[in-house]
Amino acid sequence: MQDKQQAAFSRRNFLRAFGGASTTAVAAVALNPTEALAYDPGKEEDRARYQETDHIKAYYSVNRYPKHK
């Protein structure tokens, strides 16, 4: 009986320590924010990609979108 109680207590102590350590780690990360870095898309993503071709115009007319340009 003594061994079972000691095993139960040691498991409980482990779980308490693990729970406390994880809570402390989360709090440390939350209290020490870092600056966000801006995303630079580069020259390739700056150019316009949308082109209103014939099949796009057909899609708009089939789905009854208002006329564009």
Ordered by start, the domain boundaries in the chain are 2-62
CB atoms under 10 Å from CB of 29, counted, come to 10
69 close to 52: Cβ distance less than 8 angstroms: yes
What is the spatial distance between Cα 34 and Cα 28, in angstroms, rounded to a whole number? 12
Match 């316009």 to its residue by tokens. Answer: 48
What is the spatial distance between Cα 17 and Cα 25, in angstroms, rounded to a whole number? 12
From first to last of the 69 residues of the chain, give the pLDDT tens digit: 566 666 666 777 777 776 777 777 777 767 767 777 887 777 777 677 788 899 988 998 899 887 765
